[in-house]
């Protein structure tokens, strides 16, 4: 009898802990940033470019996006705005066509990343 009561109490406690944590700290917010990657000289969209969040010192945060077509459009989903200080765009095609480009993350609005071709 006492064992069953202890198990029931443990279940109640284990079910309420996540609710209390979410109520105190809030659920993690998923932030979205839309943008476009373009050629600096022609202003044409570039496909197959990886865009990712980086910390202040340039370390990747694990949040990334990819431009799939020649429009150069991308949508980046990230969880922590405090860790995403800049966006880094890298060419995923081989041989590499464009130089890696870093731009600061604006506080709001869409992002346009202009990339230079590899000399």
Using one digit for the tens of pLDDT, what is the confidence trace for 8-67? 888 887 888 877 777 787 766 678 889 999 999 999 999 999 999 998 888 888 788 888
Domain span including residue 91: 31-115
Which CATH number fits the domain that encloses residue 56?
2.60.40.1120
pTM, whole model, 2 decimals?
Answer: 0.72
CB-CB contact of 117 with 49 (8 Å): no
Task: Classify residue 25: in a domain, yes or no.
Answer: no
Residue 65 lies in a domain: yes
User: Is the four-CA dihedral 92, 98, 103, 109 of positive or negative sign?
Assistant: negative
Q: Is there a domain that residue 15 lies in?
A: no
Dump pLDDT digits (tens) for 100-111. 999 998 888 999
């Amino acid at each position: 009898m006492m064992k069953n009561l202890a198990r029931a109490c443990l279940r109640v406690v284990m079910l309420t802990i996540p609710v209390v944590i979410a109520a105190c700290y809030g659920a993690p917010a998923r932030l979205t940033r839309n943008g476009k990657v373009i050629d600096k000289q022609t202003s044409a969209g570039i496909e197959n470019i990886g865009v990712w969040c980086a910390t202040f010192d340039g370390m990747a945060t694990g949040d990334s996006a990819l431009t799939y077509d020649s429009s150069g459009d991308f949508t980046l989903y990230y969880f922590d705005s405090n860790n995403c200080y800049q966006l880094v765009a890298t060419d995923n095609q081989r041989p590499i066509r464009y130089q890696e480009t870093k731009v600061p993350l604006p506080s709001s609005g869409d992002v346009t990343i202009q990339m230079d071709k590899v000399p």
